[in-house]
Amino acid sequence: MKPRICNFLPVPELLSAENILCIQPHPDDMEIGAGATIARLSRSGKQVTALTITDGSAGTYQPSDKPGEIARTRKAETENSAKLLGVKKLIWLDYADGGNLPYEKIRADITGTIRSLKPDAVMVCDPWLPYEAHSDHNRTGLAAAEACLLSGMPQFCPDDLQKGVMPHSIEMIAFYYTAYPNTLIDASDTWEIKLAAIDCHNSQFSGEKGEKLKEYLTARSEEQAEKENCRLVEAFKVLTVTHLHIFEETWQC
């Protein structure tokens, strides 16, 4: 049985979005979480912009690696991947990677970006993923959710008004990396693009590690696709911004 809140607040159709802002904590998250759907949206003429919160400089286990060099490598990898996915514009906030994100600052930056670009949909990692231990992910997801909830209210982050950046309300938020999906997007035609986009991140997923990740993602996707009568899917929790405040049934939507 559907939760009662769905009669009052239907779950929006992700593929109906025209202008999508995809927010990722690190270079590579959008590909893993939503790459096939991003490719599908951009192939059908939709505008997709990627906002990356950190510079990715902590993406190594080698003490001798230089953070600045890692960040430069990962930016180049993301530029290559964005071309495959059809993401036309990349915005970098360049906060230091590694678990020290200043919550209120990134919330203000995300709010300003939403108000400037005026997307109808925002994609971001789900901050309510039960066992997610990386605070870059939890803070990015929550800051984005709060920015989506409040970006239409002029007194929230009011500095934007002084700069002539007007409030803007979005239609929907789509969480990737979610434990509570309510939307399965048919990814059969763009799955290979997603895998190729992951391959662009050679500094993170070379050799066996990359192969294992792609095998896992494909097996998980096939399992979820059984319900949808298609070959491969990507899973999202899609909500209106109204769902994001006070409603105890939202997790069940």
The footprint of Zn ion (CB under 5 A) covers 25-26, 29
Task: Give min distance, CB of 31 to Zn ion, in A.
Answer: 11
Instruction: Please say which residue, 25 or 119, places its beta carbon nearer to Zn ion.
Output: 25
Contact 51, 22 (CB under 8 A): yes
Instruction: Please say which residue, 2 or 212, places its beta carbon nearer to Zn ion.
Output: 212
CA distance 2 to 36: 28
Task: Give min distance, CB of 25 to Zn ion, in A.
Answer: 5
Instruction: Please say which residue, 56 or 167, places its beta carbon nearer to Zn ion.
Output: 56
> In Å, what is the CA distance from 161 to each residue of 145, 151, 203?
21, 11, 41
**Rounded to the nearest 5°, which phi and psi values hold at 181?**
-65, 145
Instruction: Please say which residue, 46 or 201, places its beta carbon nearer to Zn ion.
Output: 201
Q: What is the DSSP letter of 11?
A: P
Task: Give min distance, CB of 154 to Zn ion, in A.
Answer: 32
Residue type, 56: G
CA distance 76 to 216: 26
Task: Give min distance, CB of 55 to Zn ion, in A.
Answer: 12
CA dihedral 78, 79, 81, 83 (to 10 degrees): 160
The residue at minimum Cβ distance from Zn ion is 26
Task: Give min distance, CB of 121 to Zn ion, in A.
Answer: 20
Instruction: Please say which residue, 43 or 209, places its beta carbon nearer to Zn ion.
Output: 209
Contact 221, 191 (CB under 8 A): yes
